Every structure is written in structure tokens, then in C-alpha cells.
Amino acid sequence: MAYNTGISIIIDEGLLMHIPCIRVHHRNHPEMRGEGCCLADAIKHLTCQLTLALESAPSRRRREAFRRALNEVREFGSARKSRVPRPMTANSRI
């Protein structure tokens, strides 16, 4: 995994009991991770984790930090959805 300070969403691919799994987390909140069999599921799971943390944050400063992270994760997820790959056809070249 390359270290890039410009990207706040970290994506890690691996295996969970021999099943391919994708894990994502926000650079400022590595303790909260989203997991799934695809990137969209992992982002959705991370969004839920951050939403729960935002709702139970003890201070205004922590709520703001969670709110910023949640907005960045949502932006990242919507940017990924907008890049829909073209379907492969029999005549497609790689």
C-alpha cells in the first residue's frame, strides 16, 4: 500500500478466512473500518460506522471530525459510482 497524504480514504484488499475482502478506513479514524466483498459494500459499512460515531460523539470537536470524515467517505463513494465501467463484449479489446 502506497502512502499518499492527498488521499484520506485507505483501501486494503486481503483475505478473510480465505474469502476475498476489501477493507476501507479514513486516515484520521483508523479504528473504524468498513469491510465487504466489494468496495461499494465496504464504503457503505464505513459510512454506517462513522454515522454511529457521529451520533454518540462526546464533544463538538469530535462531532466535527466525524462529520468531515463522513463527508469525505460519501464523496469518495459517489465519485466511484459515477465511474461506471463499460460492459465487456465479445469484440472488446483489452
DSSP H or E run through 40: helix 39-55
> What confidence tens digit (pLDDT) does each residue in 59-84 have?
999 999 999 999 999 999 888 765 54
With cut-offs at 50, 70 and 90, classify the pLDDT of residue 6: low
Enter the pTM of the model.
Answer: 0.76
Q: Which of 55, 59, 16 shows the shortest CA–CA distance to 34? A: 16
**What residues does each domain of the chain span?**
9-81
